[in-house]
Structure formats: C-alpha cells, structure tokens
Amino acid sequence: MKKEYKIDETAACQFKNRAGYCVGTGRMGLALQKEYQEQLKLVQEHIGFKYIRGHGIFSDDMGIYQEYEDENGKIIPEYNFTYLDRVMDSYQEMKIKPFLELGFMPQKMAGGEQTVFYWRGNVTPPKSYKAWTDMVQAVLNHLIERYGRDEAVSWPIEVWNEPNLSIFWKDADMEEYFSLFRHTFRAVKEVDEQFQVGGPSICGVDDVNWLRQFLDYCSRNNLMPDFFTRHHYMWSEPVKEGRYSYGKLRDPQEAMEELKVSRTIIDSFRQYQNLPMYITEFNTSYSPDSPVHDSVQNASYVAWLLSRMGEVCDGYSYWTFGDVFEENGVPFSQFHGGFGLVANGAVPKPSFWVFAFFKNLQGRRVHLSDEAVVVQKEDGSYCGVAWNLSFGKQEPLDIELALPCKPGANFCFLQKLVDEEHGNPVKLWHDMGEPSNPSKEQLALLREGAAPWLLTKRLAEEEGYVTAALHLKQDAVVYFELRETEVCSDRGYHIISLNK
C-alpha cells in the first residue's frame, strides 16, 4: 500500500500532544526496590514524564497508618512517614511529581477484610470516615512541610481506583464511594484550597451511568471537583493460555468515541463544562500477563492513540512505566506480557520508543492521518512519527510526504525505526531460546538489541518541496526529522563508500 501527501503549511494547527503528561506505576511500595528506580531513571532520561500515578499509598507495606494503646486502653492513631519520604524523595530526584491516588485502606482502619491482588490491598470502606480524613490531612500536611506548599499543591489528588468494579471497591457500592469522595474532597480542601481533587477514576464498566450519577451527586452536594478521571483499555475477548492472556485489539476509533461520550456527559453539567478530563490509566490489554504489551503491534497501536487522545482529554497516563509489578505475583520470566514500557533488566520495549518519539513532536501540526503525524518546529524543521497498524495483515506501507521548503535547500533526513527486526528485544530473546532469567551478558545484548535502527539520507529541494519517503513493514513505527543542512565538505575529501 502507498500513501502520498502534499503538505499545506497554511492548514497548520496546534498539536495537543500529551505524551509526557503522566505515567503509571504499580503500588507505591515498589518504589523502594533498586530495579524500579533503575527503570524509572531510564524512562525519565529518554521521555521525561511530568507525573507518576500508582496504587497503594495507604496500603500496609507503606506503613503510614499505625495504632497504639495508651495507659487507659484507648487506641490512639499515629502516622509513620519513613517510606513515604523515601518514595517522594526519589521522585523529586527523578524530576517527576506524584499524581496522588488515595487508596487502598489500611487494614487497621478497614471496615472489612476484602482485598485485591497478590499484595492484598484492602478495598473496603473505613470503619470511621473521621479516621480516614484525619490520615489524609496528616499526610498532606506532612508533604507541605517537607516539600513546600507550592510544590505539594501542584500534585493532583484522585480519590480511589475503579470503584465501579467490585474487586476494587466492596460491592461496587456507588453511594458508599460517593460518600468517600465527599468526605475526602472536603478534608483535602480544608488543608489547602489550592489542592486539585478529582475522580471518580472509573473504568469502562457501566461507565456512562457511573459518571452521570457521580456528577449528579457532586452537583446536589455542592462539590466542585477540579477535574474528572476515567480509565481506558482497548482489549476484548481475552482467553487464557498457560500463564498468559490473549485477546483482540478493538478498533481504535471506536474506543476513542467512548472518551468523547465521557467528555459530553461532563459538559452536560453547566458548572462542570470544560473542566479537565484525565485518562489516569490506559493501555491495550488490562491484564499484566498479555504478550501484546511486549510487541511491536502494541507500539503501532499506541502510536495511533497518542496522535489522537490529546484531542479528547487534557492528559493521559500509560499503565505502566516498568515491569516491576506484582498484581498477579512475581513474574516467572523476562518477558511476560507486563504492562511496562521497560522490561526487567532495564530493557526498553517497542512502546517505550513511541513515547520517546512523540515527546519530540513539539510544534505546529501540519499533517495528521491514520498513519502519520507531522509537526513543524519553531526553527522551520519538520519531524514526525509514522506507523503501520496492521491488525495482523502482513502488508507493508509506503508513505511519501512532500513538505514545502525554500528553493535550493538541502536536508538531512533522519529516521529511527522500530519493527519486527529492529528495536524489538522480544525477538532477540526468542532467538536466544526465551531464557526466563537471562545472564548479565544476555541482558546487555537485549538492551543493545532494543535500540531503534538509525537511518540517514541527504535530500534536496525540488520545485519548492522536499520529499521524504518512508517504508514501514507490518506494525512498524518510525520517527523522522528533516533538518536543513549546509553542505560544507572539506576540499578534496570524499567518503569512499559513497563514491563506488
């Protein structure tokens, strides 16, 4: 298949690129692990997300909520910030801010025994909402004291995670969640009105009803959330094979329409019109055991999403940055379908490079299609990302972009390619025999094989345009740049291989 586009600069518009807004993590306690820190460092060096969001700030492994018995036998609450400070200090060092998800319930405070995940996050309401709000306020006051008011209030606050699922909130009790939100919202605003608080952090199960009911509840109770949140996954018909989940990718345009419905519902309430909507989790599959996450197919699908999602929401968070993740337990193998952009051993997956590519797309959008986005930077140079989202069809895609330029101009055309043969460490791992626990030497080779393939070419203006040709195999993703160059060869020097 071949697509040809002649770019019209007069049709340029703002590219609402939110690729660097936020990224997900597993439970917060995992940030105490060395491998977690190494993966986050790699992500920040190449992508540089602004926020990071994860579960379990109040789970028992963080140790925040404690109790003791005084001399009269009365139970007295106290708070331990040792691990909280370690995690927040590490985020500060990585130049990433927490997007604070308040959950799950400390076991000693919980009104029930129901838990979720291998690490047993308690998902029941508190025995006492006063105990809950006292803890929330104590944490926020501590964060203000340690990091400064201006910094702390710049951290968004989301109340709970997916309460519309009974595995995350006992009985998916809507009215109980609304009560939790009301108490929490007011407690946070008592600490400082500048804190930005939102919810309901729902996934795509009965989401239309939940969102409408939540907005109606907030309206009736004079609550003015600062933003609204939901999650978005693109997976259907999953089946299990051994330890792993396989499914079908949904039509991405159909999935995008669901987000537009959420936006329309929010704007149907006059007082909430145009307030931010954040997708605080998104990915293809919603299971941390789906090999699609490790694949170039995932990368091409995510590329399509990143080209569009900023048009319907104010920020989005890929779930997750790394494979240090234990919802279903400790993974058995190097590649195991984990959510992460980075595999264990600090090995970037193909989707990692998609975010790195998109983070570079800063400027005026001069082209958007189902297979490419191109922007023009302030200095007049062009860059873009193209992809061949195949849905299993083994058909290559050729794209020809004619970009306007001044007469006589010369250009360096640079490409960074990820496809089945390049920047695809899972293929190299497969060829190695799929070792569950690679040696140091094997990990070093996987990291080397994870790099995109770099190609360059010199191009020249013809009839007012420079023409860039891209060849993409099945599910390939390519980043490209066109920079004007001055040809200044030294007298008598010739590159031998170019003069055969």
DSSP secondary structure, 265-291, as one string: HHHTSGGGTT--EEEEEEES-SSTT-G
Please state, in angstroms and rounded to a whole number, the distance separating the CA atoms of residues 178 and 214: 7
Element (H, E) at 426: helix 425-431
Question: Of 398, 414, 393, 387, which is closest to residue 307 (Cα–Cα)?
Answer: 387
Active site residues: 162
CA distance readout (Å), 191 to 38, 218, 308: 34, 20, 37
Cβ atoms 446, 345 nearer than 8 A:
yes
Kind of pairing between the strands at 410-418 and 477-485: antiparallel
Please state, in angstroms and rounded to a whole number, the distance separating the CA atoms of residues 93 and 44: 11
Cβ atoms 353, 366 nearer than 8 A:
no
Q: What is the DSSP letter of 182?
A: H
Q: In what order do the strands lie in the sheet with 382-387?
A: 13-14, 364-368, 372-376, 382-387, 477-485, 410-418, 453-460
Q: Which two tokens stand for residue 35?
A: 């491998």
Instruction: State the burial class of residue 134 (Cβ atoms within 10 Å of its Cβ: 0-12, 13-18, 19+).
Output: middle
Residue 452 CA, chain-centre distance (Å), reads 20
Please state, in angstroms and rounded to a whole number, the distance separating the CA atoms of residues 401 and 473: 17
